[in-house]
Amino acid sequence: MSRRHGSAVFATAIAEWRAIRADYELYLQAAFLAAEEATRGKLLNRRGRRAGVDAYTLFMGPAVRAYAYASDELIEHWRTHPRVTFEQFEAQQHQAVRHGW
């Protein structure tokens, strides 16, 4: 393969990553909506509301930040419906692809 077209292995990896990222976005939307319903919209604690935190961002990024701004209702929801980071989701999806699940 010529340099102009790059590495076939890298291109395949990027395509797989993009597909997983798109699937994760769908997962996030569903997780957010389920939590919103389960908590009756009480996703943020007082500190989070005062800081103007976007509740959707609690479903991604560092757990320390998520739990710092999450309402008690959301934390309880996460006990039965664990918060999944992109890295965790990616690892699960990659294993499924590799093993044909």
Cβ contacts of 12 within 8 Å, gap of 6 or more: none
Span 50-100, pLDDT tens digits: 999 999 999 998 999 999 999 999 999 999 999 999 999 999 987 887 777
pTM of the predicted protein model = 0.82
CA dist., res. 52 & res. 13, Å (int): 37
Is residue 81 left, alpha or beta, with left meaning phi > 0 and alpha meaning psi from -120 to 50? beta
User: How many Cα neighbours within 13 Å face the side chain of 81?
Assistant: 18
pLDDT for residue 4 is more than 70: no
Domain layout of the chain by residue ranges = 3-99
